[in-house]
A and B are shown apart, each in its own frame.
Chain A
Amino acid sequence: MKRVHQNLPKISTMVKRMADNEKKVNIPIGPIHPALKEPVQIEVSVSGERVTDVNITLGHVHRGIEWVGTRRNPIQTLYIAERVCGICNICHPMAFCIAIENAANIAVPERAEYLRTIFAELERIHSHLLFLGVAAHEMGFDSILHYTWLTREKVLDVVEMLTGNRITKGIMMIGGVRRDISDSQAEKIRAAMDYYEKVYGKMCNIFLDDKTIKMRTRDIGFLSKKDALRFCAVGPTARASGVKKDIRQDYPYAAYPDIDIEALTPEFLLKETRGDVYDRVVMRAIEIKQSIDIVRECLKEMPSGPIVSEPVLQKLLFNLKQVQGEGVALVEAPRGELIHYIKMEKADAPSSWKIRAPTYANLHVLRTMLIGSELADVPVIVASIDPCMSCANRAIIADKGALLYQEKLRELCIGKTRRLRGATK
């Protein structure tokens, strides 16, 4: 009782705190927050429930992958490229391969191009289904989360059947792919596509008709066409604002030149394009349909022939060692335009490797979308650009503003390990 009495005057602090709530409060969303699937710090200033300012800090999952890649030969790096991101692990190795092929002038067999396209589109289906689930989870609609992730299992099963793995597929190879698709496997892919046709119909029913989804996503997180162009938004984020921009259409790679492909906007299903969160969600559902059609067409048109230009790895490595030149690859990842740049200087390892992930481009529009919105909408808006932090983190900034690159980080890591081992001795 005495303790209670001593602390009593502090209730004035509490009353003051309640009164202060109308003033600006900084809410840190992240680095660790239930709404975020990967660490990123989004510091939101709110007045009441309205967002007045946003500050985004990146770099919590920086692993120095590019640095590692410039110390290994290209085939070893291929597997590291695959581990840039847990979701886009077809498009990263594919972009890496295309960049090296461009630098070394390697011609990829036609069948391999079609196989790459099929894998890329299967990846897009699974990534978009994952996104739809996450978006629903952010608005508290867990039934849809469980439904979409349940249907996503099917495409993961197909990928496992084709490559042997659900997630890190290990299917890309410089100059082609590593495994072929047999006729019986093709039949199973077709069956899966029929299944997804049905899923797409159901998704359309859910997302076009459900009232609560519309309540939570309509008319929030606006991104006008002008802003999308100004900040160079990419992928579904830009397309949902009405920018007809798609690498598969503009700079086709793999088998896309053979396929009639057009950048879609939400007008495919809706009457108008508003550029809000709802449009971005519907955009993903539309692209699932597009991917289904592409996979079907690829299976139909796929020519026979070899699947890799140089099956002997030693020979390939030897050839790559002679290469002097640069290569750039543009790939339409599920989240948008992905750029890999490679420079080879007649050495074992590439002398330079640079990744520009789609999330990096899309994070710039986040501020525009968030300012003026309600705090309750922040997670939905952030999720609507489908951020992929492990793709985007290419450098880390320490407290004092100093940049920490891989060398320094490695030193720190080794120092910590030594400390720990010293402590156990």
Chain B
Amino acid sequence: MAKITLERVRHSYLENPESADDWALKQLDLVWSDGGAYALLGPSGCGKTTLLNVISGLLRPTEGRVLFDDRDVTGVASDRRDIAQVFQFPVVYDTMSVYDNLAFPLRNRRVPEKQVKQRVQEIARMLELQEVLGNRASGLTADGKQKISLGRGLVRSDVNVIMFDEPLTVIDPHLKWQLRSKLKELHQEVGATMIYVTHDQTEALTFADHVVVMHSGEVVQIGTPVELFEKPKHTFVGHFIGSPGMNLLPCKLIDGFPTFFGYRLETPEVVRPPAGGGRMEIGIRPEFIRFADDGLPVEIVKVDDVGRHRIVAVEHNSHAIKLVMPEEAPIPGERGYLAFERDKTNVYADGWIIT
């Protein structure tokens, strides 16, 4: 068990990185508290796996330090970091039985066989693998194999952190949900820090207490699912999380209030323009806009019924805005007026929040 600190970590896969794009990880300062359930969320190629491999020691960062509690482990090999990692594609030792697979990390560390047996039984019970302990691992289905990968991590009692690199990619949809709730359960039972890498926001938001959102080698926001939803620090977060993503409306600041094509929006407080100026945008989630008798005049373009709610696409001055409406709420015919929830209206300058 340990707190994990990344200090000014940068990594590049190139010999001599020059431009900012050469860095797979740009300057990271992060603290993962002990016992937390974290999700690392971001689009493919944003550096999630690189970050994971830096923590697990499979990669040595070009610059910066990795600390477990106060111990500097930057140069320490993976097998001495007491970490566990579950990969995207299940890794099992094909020729071994399920039991031997689970026992492998312990036997490599010369744990007495009696203790191995007890530990393996315990983990098999947690993962519901008792029935197949004697079977050859190669005969299992993808989700069974992924459980073994996970089990090889859990079996060690001294494990500092368990990392998951998109572990549900090859799992059937109906089993995904099962395995995900199993993970959540395990986190509560074992209490180890868990870091879950994914590009699927549902997976991230259901698994984690804290979500770390990454974008092109940088961490853009760390927060609870609610924070990410209501107050995205960066327009990327607003856009990436939520379905549909946050509406972004170009605006000007007039008397401290954002103005969209001459229509003034209310914000919780007066907005001070940033020193350098920059491109101003209003960000508001489709969930926080509704139709009203008065407000921003729009034309209704399209209504999509997606089951539990409806998504309404409207336009003002050919600028698209989306609304999420409850199933039973009335929608005006061709034209209507929009009202924006004042507390949920954010203003961004050059992509970063300023309210």
Partners in one complex: no
